[in-house]
Amino acid sequence: MELDSLRQQLCELAHDLAARELAWGTSGNVSLRVDEERFLISASGAWLGRLTPEQTALCLLHREDFVGAKPSIETPMHRAIYRNRPEAQVVVHVSPLYTTLVACSDMEVPTDLNIENIFYLGRIARVPFLQPGTAQLAEAVGDAVREHETVILSNHGVITFHQTVPDVLMRVESFEMSCRLLVMARAANIPLNHLSSDVVEELRGGYRR
């Protein structure tokens, strides 16, 4: 796909995240794999809801060189995911309300509650708080995604990936909904009923998405 088309696709993803209240202000960053050597990422300080093609950077996967706008400070995290998960085509890092609330707590997000929760979240990991933009954070995320698809960044937000834009949007939205469900259930003192592991495996086996 032409670079101009990919830049526009990245902007549309960013706008969708903001429209769904999954991104706000200059918080968050998004990227798209271009090929085996390059990826596009939103610029440092860019508002995702207003992202333009000029506010994107073309980065190398195995070096820190880039062309275009100054890339997001979180570029090392995205690079680590693309290096460790060759199937990853789209990466999203955001800090929506309920996701961030969970990230600032010790709550775990289960993946056995409802259909979307089961199908879309993938495996979830949590990494401790590490300074944004550092090699230490990128290394922790890179290690986590070797066996997980969604990573809670403690006191920070979430980062996740998928093979298509619609799928990564659904994953982010499903994660935020799951976090909202947990927070509201706890506030209302409502116990949640978890599906059995047998039922979860049967669902995953019969309705692969």
111, HSE (Cβ side, Cα atoms, 13 Å): 17
How many CB atoms are located within 10 Å of the residue 13 CB?
Answer: 24
Q: What is the pLDDT along the chain (209 residues), one digit of tens a residue?
A: 699 999 999 999 999 999 999 999 999 999 999 999 999 999 999 999 999 999 999 999 999 999 999 999 999 999 999 999 999 999 999 999 999 999 999 999 999 999 888 889 989 999 999 999 999 999 999 999 999 999 999 999 999 999 999 999 999 999 999 999 999 999 999 999 999 999 888 888 765 44
Confidence (pTM): 0.94
Helix (H) or strand (E) holding 161: strand 157-162
Domains of the chain, with CATH numbers?
A: 3-106+123-163 (3.40.225.10)
150-153 and 66-68 beta bridge pairing: unpaired
Q: From CA 46, how far away is CA 32, in angstroms rounded?
A: 16
